[in-house]
Structure 1
Amino acid sequence: MSILAEISKATQPFQVVGNMAEFKQIIGRGTRVREDYGKLFFTILDYTGSATQKFADPGFDGPPISITTTTMDDEGELGEEVVVTVPQVDDEPVRPWGQASLKNDDEGQPRKLIIRGGVQVRVLHETVQELDAHGRQLRTVEFTSYAAEQVRSLYMTAEDFRHDWADPRERTTIVAALEERGVALEHLEQVMGRDESDPFDLLCHLAFDAPLQTRKQRADDAKRQKQSAFSTYGPVAQTILDQLLDQYAEHGINELSGSAEVFKVLPATRHMNLGEVGRVFGRLPNLRQVLEKLPKLIYA
C-alpha cells in the first residue's frame, strides 16, 4: 500500500462498528500488552455509542466452553494438547461485560474475594461510569474528577461551599447530596490517601483547586484566632476550647456536632456534667453558641 493510501486511510472519519467480529478484533488488538513500548493499558473513545452497546452483549464475555493446555519439555518441544471442558451453569444467567457476578452468602453479607500465595494487591486507579444527560452515551471518568464535578454542580464558588459547610445542618444536607450522587466521604479519603485532612479540604481542592491542609493545621489556626473570638471567657473555658479543637484535629468535625458526649472524653470536663460545663461559659445557651461558632472559626 502506498504512503498516500496509508495517509488517506488514517484520516478517515470515525465510523460505527456494526459487526461484532470486527469489534472483537479491534478490542483484541487494543488489549495486547507491549511492555517494551510501555503499553500496559488502553482507552476506548466511544464517539458513536456502538462500543458501549457491544460490550453490553451478554454473549460477549460469557464463561469459556473449554480450556486448552499445551505442555513443553526441557528441550522446548511442544507436547500434546489437553482440552478440558468447563461445566456450564444453567441456572445462573450470563451477565453483561463488566458487571460483577458475586452472590451474597447465607448471612446476607457480600462474599469476599481472597487471593492466595502472598500476592500484594492495591488499587491503582478508580473510575466512575455514568450515562449522559440523554441516557445514551456511557462516559468513564476518574472518581476524583467525578467528585469534583458533583461539588461544582452544587456550588459555584469555594466561598459559598465554605459558608454552608460550616453550618452543621447545611453540612448534613451536602453530605447526603454527595452520597446520593455516589460520592462517599470515607471512600474519598481512602482514594486520595488523606485521612488526616478534612473532607471539606479534599472536596475544595478537587473542585476549586484550593490548597490541601490537615485538620491539625486548621485546629492550630483556630486556636490563634480564638483569643479574640472568645476573649470574654476565662482560663478554664479557653482550655476546654483548646481541647475541643484537639478533638477535631484527631477525629473530625463531627466531634463538634453539639452532642454532650464530647465533654465526657475531654480531660478538662470528663468529671463534669453538662450543667457544670455550661456554667464555665456563663450558662448553657452560651455553650451552645460557642459550639455553633467554633466550626465557623475552623473553616474561616
Structure 2
Amino acid sequence: QLVSRLLNDHFGHLGYDDYAVPIVAEEGEDARRWLRRFQDSDQKTPVVATTAELLSTGVDVPSCRNIVFMKTVSSPVLFKQIVGRGSRLDPATDKYWFRVIDYTGATRLFDEWDRPPLPPEDTALGPERGTLEGVVIHAETGDRLVGASVSVLLGPNVQRGPIYTDEDGAFRFERLPTGVVTLVVSGPGFRRRQMKVELLEDEVVSVEVPLKEAGEPPLKVRVTGLEVTIADETIFLIEATGESLSLQEYVDYTRRKVVELVGAQHAALLREVWMDPDRRQRFLEDLYRSSIHPDVLAEVMGLGDADGFDLLAHLAFGEPVRTRDERAQAFRNRHQRFLQRYSHEAREVIVALLEKYRVGGVEEIADPKVFRLPPFDRMGQIVGVQHRFGGVAGLRQAMREMQRRLYQ
C-alpha cells in the first residue's frame, strides 16, 4: 500500500488517482474493482498493481510486461507462479515478452532448465562480417511499404534494430554475425512476420518480405465474470453460467436484472438508489456479481460518455440517455443557490469535483482518493480540502448533497 501511494504521489501530475493500486485483501471491493481494470488491456489505468501474493495464481493479466520482486521469496513454487503472470501473450497490445525485475535475489529460484542452454542453438556466434538487406512489400499488391519496422534477433535478449524501411521500402543491416538469425518485420495495419535467415561471411544476403494486411481482429474485453468478443457480432460470455449472449440478449438480461434489483417498473426508484452513495455502491456490487458491467456495455454500445444511471435507466425503463457533460452543465445552471452557500475556497473544490465527474463519472468523485489528484494536491490534498469545509463532516455532507443534486 505504501509503494502504491508513493507511486501515485510521484506520478500525480498525469491526472490519474489509480496509476498504482494496492490489490490486497484489506482494500475489499476496491481491490476487486482495481483488479478488473488491471486485467482489461483497453483501460489506461491502473499501470502498476502492488500486491502480496494475490497475483501468484488464478489471475490472468495478459498485457502485464513487468514482474517486480520487492520482498523476499523462498518458495520455488510461489516464485514460478508469480513469474507465470507475465508469461501470457497478448497480441492486442503487441506483448510477446516480459521482464523480471528482481530487488531481492528471487531469481535464484530459477532452475537450470528454466534457462536456455549456453550457447543457444540459434544464436549467431560467427564473426561480424555478414550483411542482410531486403525490401518489404504488400503481399496482395506488391507495393513497397515505407516505414515498416525491421529487427534482427541474434539470440535470446540480443537484437539489432528496429530500423525502418526507406522511401523504396528497403532496409540494410551490416556487420552482423554469421550464422542463423531471425528477421522480424511489422508495419501499421499489417501482420507481424518472422523468418529465419542464414548469413554467410563476406556475403550480402537479400530477402523480400511480403506482409499481409491485419484486417480487423476480434476485440476481446475481459472483466471479472464476463468476457466480451467484438467482431461482426458482439458476444457476451457470462463465465458463471457459460451462457453466450448476443448484444440484444445481454441488454435484455441487464434490463431484467436491474428491474429485479430495483423492485420497480419505473426509473424513480433507481434514481433514489443512485443518489445515495452507499445504496448505489451496493447496487453496483450486485450488478457485478451478475456479470453486468455498465462501463463495458456503454463502450460496446457507443455510449461511453453516458452517465451510468442514464444508461441503466434507458435500458431498463426507456428513459432518454444523458451524457455526463449534460448533467454537469445542468448542475451549474440549476444549483447556483447550493454553490453560493459555500465560501469561494469551498466552491473551487465543488467545481473541480464537477470536472472530475464529467471525465470519469460519479464513482470517480465518490472515492476519497480523488483528493490526491490536481488541483486538490495544490489545496493540501484531503486535509486541506476538509479545512475549506470546516472539517470532515462538512466535506462529507457537501459531497453527498452534490451527488444527490446531480440526479435530481
Q: TM-score, normalised by structure 2?
A: 0.42
Tell me the residue number matched to 2:252: 145
Tell me the residue number matched to 1:289: 397
Tell me the residue number matched to 1:42: none
Equivalent residues of 2:235, 2:245 under 8 A apart: no
Tell me the residue number matched to 1:164: 273
Q: CA deviation at 1:139?
A: 9.0
| Counterparts of residues 231-246 of structure 1 (less than 5 Å) | 231-246=340-355
Question: 5+ unaligned residues in a row in structure 2: which ranges?
Answer: 1-59, 63-80, 93-189, 192-211, 218-229
Q: Paired residue for 2:234, among 119, 122, 126?
A: 126
Q: Quote the Cα distance in structure 2 between the aligned partners of 1:139 and 1:253.
A: 28
Q: Deviations over 1:58-85 (max 9, x none)?
A: xxxxxxxxxxxxxxxxxxxxxxxxxxxx
Instruction: Tell me which amino acid in the other structure corresponds to 1:147.
Output: T
Alpha carbons of 1:284 and 1:176: their partners in 2 closer, same or farther (altered >3 Å)? closer
Question: 5+ unaligned residues in a row in structure 1: which ranges?
Answer: 1-102
Q: CA deviation at 1:161?
A: 0.5
- Between Structure 1 and Structure 2, which shows a larger proportion of strand residues? 2
Q: CA deviation at 1:104?
A: 11
Q: Paired residue for 2:290, among 181, 187, 190?
A: 181
Q: Does 1:299 align with 2:395?
A: no
SS at match of 2:340: coil
Count of paired positions: 192
Q: Quote the Cα distance in structure 1 between the aligned partners of 2:328 and 2:258.
A: 24
Q: Paired residue for 2:378, among 233, 258, 270?
A: 270
Pair member with larger Rg: 1
Q: CA deviation at 1:111?
A: 6.3
SS at match of 2:378: coil
Instruction: Tell me which amino acid in the other structure corresponds to 1:263.
Output: F
- Between Structure 1 and Structure 2, which shows a larger proportion of helix residues? 1
Q: Quote the Cα distance in structure 2 between the aligned partners of 1:222 and 1:272.
A: 26
Q: Quote the Cα distance in structure 1 between the aligned partners of 2:396 and 2:277.
A: 13
Alpha carbons of 1:176 and 1:226: their partners in 2 closer, same or farther (altered >3 Å)? same
Q: Paired residue for 1:154, among 258, 261, 273?
A: 261
Q: Quote the Cα distance in structure 1 between the aligned partners of 2:234 and 2:396.
A: 42
Q: Deviations over 1:133-158 (max 9, x none)?
A: xx9xx997621222112111122121
Tell me the residue number matched to 1:280: 388
Q: CA deviation at 1:248?
A: 0.5
Alpha carbons of 1:243 and 1:251: their partners in 2 closer, same or farther (altered >3 Å)? same
Q: CA deviation at 1:182?
A: 1.8
Q: CA deviation at 1:189?
A: 1.9
Tell me the residue number matched to 1:207: 316
Instruction: Tell me which amino acid in the other structure corresponds to 1:150.
Output: K
Q: Quote the Cα distance in structure 1 between the aligned partners of 2:344 and 2:322.
A: 29
Alpha carbons of 1:119 and 1:177: their partners in 2 closer, same or farther (altered >3 Å)? same
Q: Quote the Cα distance in structure 1 between the aligned partners of 2:364 and 2:404.
A: 14
Equivalent residues of 2:386, 2:392 under 8 A apart: yes
Q: Deviations over 1:195-224 (max 9, x none)?
A: 111221111111111111111111111122
Q: CA deviation at 1:258?
A: 4.8
- Superposition RMSD on alpha carbons, in Å? 3.2
Instruction: Tell me which amino acid in the other structure corresponds to 1:280.
Output: R
Equivalent residues of 2:376, 2:382 under 8 A apart: no
Q: Does 1:192 align with 2:301?
A: yes
Q: Which moved more, 1:280-289 or 1:158-167?
A: 280-289
Percent of aligned pairs sharing the same letter: 26
Q: TM-score, normalised by structure 1?
A: 0.55
Q: CA deviation at 1:113?
A: 7.5
